[in-house]
Chains A and B, each alone.
Chain A
Amino acid sequence: MTNFDPETIHDVEGVPIHSVHRHDVVIVGAGLAGMRAAYEASSEFDVAVLSKVFPTRSHSGAAQGGIAASLANEEEDHWEWHMFDTVKGGDYLGDQDIIETLVKEAPIVVREFEHMGCPFSRTPEGRIAQRKFGGHTKDFGKGGPVLRACYAVDRTGHALLHTLYEQCIKNEVRFYPEFYALSLIVRDGVCRGLVAWDIINGGVHVFHAKTVMFGTGGYGKAFKITSNALANTGDGLSLVLRAGLPLEDMEFVQFHPTGLYKQGILVSEAVRGEGGYLLNKDGERFMERYAPEKMELAPRDLVARSIQTEINEGRGCGENGDYVHADLRHLGEEKIMKLLPQIHELAWKFLHVDCIREPIPIQPTAHYSMGGIPVDIDCQVLADGKEKPVKGFYAAGECSCVSVHGGNRLGTNSLLEASLFGRRAGKSIVRYLRESREFPELPADAAKDALAEVERILGASGTETVGAIREELQEKMMLECGIFRDAETLEKLAGELRELEKRFDKIGIDDRSEKFNYDLLEAIELGHMLDFSELIVAGALRREESRGAHSRTDHPDRDDKKWLKHTLAWKRDGRIEFDYKPVTITRFQPKERKY
């Protein structure tokens, strides 16, 4: 499928000619965003997908609860209601024109998945089954929870991901499994491809492309307690930064209220959606204090803060008082095993807790990154973060910030976002390629930085270890830039991160071989996490208000006058520079967010 034409292949310094590949489209990431784009574009063009893990091992597969769409299969629902919930859930920071697109196209995207063969659960009439999820309501918040989350038992992400992989096989997408993207090739505002490392065999490869798309996922691994996979190190974000491009709203990190104690592994929101209680050490349903109407079904940022407050105020359970209980016992064995089998299995396998008989110890866990690579509604990456696209460069899914989630994402909206904007990215790539038949010129020194990085780390023989620096980073980010933040702690943290960067320059690694060297990759990943964590902290320090998932104890209120705007941040010569852009407001004027 590669249109290999020796005449036009340019020599890239330091890379053997057989390691230079050409494709119309090169996608990094085989989660829902990457594979949905690949599926779309492969109907007309030659598409390659690189992923650092085998495609079906992407983290989308871990999603349990559902994908939102106002199908109204179970009861009345409208896209306008879904829109209102998303705007309000995001604490009015989401761009409303784009949210409107999200909620209007959601039913199309979900039904297409069904047409592809996704094994959704069904209603008695044979339609896609839907369940309740936090923050999704009837009648503009006035009418109680609505059945909007389309699901496949509690393996929705797995079902969607495998379905897409199957469809990509059908469309003959060219997979490069276990290839790790090292750097982007962007020159003069045009993206020309990327450089990658072949994990299995070792070796640097160049992918020369007319278009590049990133679906590289989230950055939860920068935090100690997280629901994210070990692979979720946010590489794509720092690759973009290193190419001189900005990131948007990085300070907004969602903490999911219900992570398994110590492991951080997610206990799906379905645990609350299906009627589970949250209890403190006195057995009290403490949500009464924080969201008397919605109780456990309030949006997750509010629930996470409530749990953290219970813990901070000494009402946590256990010896250290550092967790609370999720109690399912009143649902009974039959309901638990029918509706929540995976949760039962998780609690048993990872904590040895039988949730039919005992409550599950839980604590908040870093879960989702609202911020990311700024893109427009067609998923084109924006060089100035506002309107100037980088030619041939696209992004979608959790790594991007198109801003539909604003300051806080509602559950089941991100599988939707990843699929829907993956699809849109695929469509705009097709439109672009119909016009642009030529490959952009590939600079001879395209692989210079990547080669230098690999060489430096493979030869690193300092005394610092990747494991120790990473552990410190994760602990500090969790404690000092977690659910609650304040200026003093954030300033201290900024200094600590600079120290960690210095220590990172003095690392040594054990494994110096080229084949399947995770020692090397973990070092590269740590470099990425250090890079973008600085932006999270700096953004959080600047934003002197509390909005959505960003909660400043020294500025407890939302401040629409000063802060109803998106943060844009660059890293130039090691210094962070900021710019801001307005939020698009169409239908819903900002109001106080109460549940």
Chain B
Amino acid sequence: MAMITFRINRYNPDDERRGHYAQEYQLDVQKGTTLLDALNEIKWKQDGTLTFRRSCRSGICGSCAMTINGVNNLACETQVLGLGGSTITVEPMRGYPVIKDLVVSLDPLVRGILAVKPYMITHSPPPSDQERLQSPEEREKIDGLYECILCGSCTSSCPSFWADKEYIGPHAFLKAYRFVADSRDEGSAEHMEALDDRHGLWRCHTIFNCVEACPKDLNPTKAISELKKELVRRKLG
């Protein structure tokens, strides 16, 4: 057990004048308590107005991404005592418009996804009562790509996104490459159409923030460099 201070960055849309402000809450925390458990405890027992997204509690839905001691992570996968220190700062993810307290708008995330035609494109019809074949080696090529939970941590941590709100974003590049790398997909050109643009791939300066921010250990930067190679190959070819 340890008394921890949670310093939470708050914002109430009905009180524009007050703007963003920090509020502190104290809570006795045990081994095993996640940050999401702690936030729920505060909301349910101390202050019902504290607002954050959550659902699965198990790191798979992507709802609870927030900035914890300056780093983006999932609250439900963060052990409070594992953070060390007696004060923990919690803020909404940077770069997205804040709706209320820790809740940010998902619109930029969705816009990026839509830009890459995020669905498998095929021209040849599938076999009628069978699956398409894909060898385990081919299938392995999309490991590290399809597991994205759309939490938004990566894009929020990206300086290119801070500078350009129309930037498609690493989460969407990862999605695009998930299809480009899939042996079954026949629409690479379509997925990549929007990427050869000033809001697209070329704005990535390989800063690697997205890789560090991803709670699922995915590597959007690698996807970006593969996509860049692919674009160049297409231009030359």
A349: Cβ under 8 A from any B Cβ:
yes
A518: Cβ under 8 A from any B Cβ:
yes
B219: Cβ under 8 A from any A Cβ:
no
Contact B147–A158 (Cβ < 8 Å): yes
Which of B36-64 touch A at CB < 8 Å? 43-45, 47-49, 51, 53-63
Binary per-residue interface labels of chain A (37-78) against chain B in the complex, 1 for a CB within 8 Å, 0 otherwise: 000000000000000011011110110000000000000000
Q: In the complex, what distance in Å separates the CA atom of A169 from the CA atom of B142?
A: 21
Q: In the complex, what distance in Å separates the CA atom of A148 from the CA atom of B13?
A: 51
Which of B82-122 touch A at CB < 8 Å? 99-100, 103, 105-106, 113-114, 117-120
Q: Which of A119-127, A296-304, A565-573 contacts B (4 or more CB under 8 A)?
A: A119-127
Contact A122–B185 (Cβ < 8 Å): no
B29: Cβ under 8 A from any A Cβ:
no
Closest chain-A Cβ to B193's Cβ sits at a distance in Å of 15
Give the residue of A53, A59, A170, A346 whose beta carbon is less than 8 angstroms from that of B119: A170
Give the residue of B129, B131, B184 whose beta carbon is less than 8 angstroms from that of A127: B131
B126: Cβ under 8 A from any A Cβ:
yes
B79: Cβ under 8 A from any A Cβ:
yes
Q: Report the nearest B residue to A157, measured CB to CB.
A: B60
A444: Cβ under 8 A from any B Cβ:
no
Give the residue of B58, B103, B129 whose beta carbon is less than 8 angstroms from that of A516: B103
Task: Tell me which residues across on chain B come within 8 A of A518, comparing CB atoms.
Answer: 43, 51
Give the residue of B34, B63, B99, B182 whose beta carbon is less than 8 angstroms from that of A119: B182
Task: Tell me which residues across on chain B come within 8 A of A466, comparing CB atoms.
Answer: 44, 48
Closest chain-A Cβ to B149's Cβ sits at a distance in Å of 7
A420: Cβ under 8 A from any B Cβ:
no
Contact A119–B139 (Cβ < 8 Å): yes
Known interface pairs A117-B120, A229-B55, A350-B34; A125-B133 also in contact (CB < 8 Å): yes
In this complex, how many residues of chain A approach chain B with their Cβ under 8 Å: the count is 62
Which B residues form the contact surface with A (CB < 8 A)?
12-14, 31-32, 34, 43-45, 47-49, 51, 53-63, 77, 79, 99-100, 103, 105-106, 113-114, 117-120, 126, 129-136, 138-139, 142, 146-150, 179, 182, 184-185
| A-B contact list, 30 entries, CB within 8 Å | A57-B56, A57-B63, A59-B56, A59-B61, A61-B149, A62-B56, A114-B131, A117-B182, A119-B142, A121-B136, A121-B139, A126-B138, A155-B60, A158-B60, A169-B113, A170-B119, A177-B106, A229-B55, A230-B56, A263-B32, A350-B32, A350-B77, A511-B49, A515-B13, A515-B14, A515-B99, A516-B99, A518-B43, A518-B51, A519-B43
Extra 15 A-B pairs, beta carbons < 8 Å, given A117-B184, A127-B131, A169-B113 = A61-B61, A61-B149, A111-B126, A115-B132, A117-B119, A119-B142, A121-B139, A122-B134, A159-B146, A200-B99, A465-B48, A466-B44, A516-B13, A518-B51, A519-B43
